[in-house]
Chains A and B, each alone.
Chain A
């Protein structure tokens, strides 16, 4: 059988080309699994310095209260710790499984662990796998407890400090914590970590509705 291509109209030629490309596509490497990893170490090390990838506990608290949903909150601690208490709306992934869960790459990710350590290490792992928007909670669960859940203020604090404390106290109550005023003579630096974990009753884990808003880059049509 002989096919005379010169007799084809331009439309038929284009259609044939499309069909051919579509057919080749079946055998191409899956683009979502492409293995090109280009890590700009210079850029990464600069990011470490400028703290732009840190989220403070206050910021996170505000995001939760505003019910922002343009991010995923990830708890890197053990399952046991997660069950005891976790920040509302977070999901539990242990660091060893972080790459297996196929987290979305086009969404902001906020990591936290007990302190800074696991979160920052996992941050690096994700960065080398082309996750663009990865952040971690500064000070981890420890700082979340000391600044958001159990904020303290000294009795002789200045008016400014007290005003600031009052705001934090409100936030603390929202998350079921308990703000305290430290007595004058008391050991000011000591923050009790053994406090019973608050029952997460106030804000149920953020309902997956509501448009995300705010700081994310505006895009889409």
Chain B
């Protein structure tokens, strides 16, 4: 039964091998979806090209439906899936910081690695920035430790926290994604490269 790692079908070492293989696949699809260029990634913040948004939501919905149906049919134990602890405030602040970096640099950590693999110079600078930032965070951590550990809410998940059935939540996320896709198409027509009269870059 899945998740295989939790049920000790393989150990941490073999897990790394699988992680490597899945990582290669993940990177390949990101690159093929066009996530390897900062231009495309940054364009979504100006509603010119929402490919990133659409790919991400497709991935979220696919994974969600997959996990949900696999566990409903008993192929998977959803309760064993690791959930990262929630620290509400620090995570909001961290998310905003990441977003700012995303707009400025044109990459998120994962996509910067993808861009490195095709030799984008800006991506190498970006990765350098990641290491520098990580180092600085480590150095100032004692000063912000109190904040970094505040508003700890434990391992919470939405269906339990809000006490709504899993299925309803799944349906709501599907509706949200479909609405998002429709909205994204609309925004691309209105603001994007694809709008009527604009030069088709493809």
Contact = CB atoms under 8 A, between A and B. Distances in A.
Chain B interface mostly: helix
A21 B82 contact: no
Interface residues of B, number: 41
B142 interface: no
Interface residues of A, number: 34
B125 interface: no
A38 B80 contact: no
Contact of B181 (A15, A104, A212): A15
Interface in A7-32: 11, 15, 18-19, 21-23, 25-32
A26 B173 CA distance: 12
A211 B90 CA distance: 13
Contacts of B178: 15, 18-19
Contacts of A196: none
B166 A104 contact: no
Contact of A29 (B72, B79, B84): B72
Interface string B51-69: 0000000000100010011
A107 B84 CA distance: 11
Interface in A82-134: 104-107, 130, 132
Interface stretch (A147-155, A174-182, A213-221): A213-221
Contacts of A80: none
B80 A132 contact: yes
Contacts, number: 97
B65 A25 contact: yes
Nearest to A26: B167
Interface in B112-168: 149-150, 152, 154-155, 159-160, 165-168
Given A22-B174, A34-B74, A209-B149, A218 B12 contact: yes
Given A25-B68, A28-B68, A132-B6, A36 B74 contact: yes
Nearest to B170: A25
Contact of A31 (B1, B78, B168): B78
B69 A209 contact: no
Nearest to B176: A22
B149 A23 contact: no
Interface of B: 1, 5-7, 12, 61, 65, 68-69, 71-72, 74, 76-85, 149-150, 152, 154-155, 159-160, 165-168, 170-171, 173-175, 177-178, 181
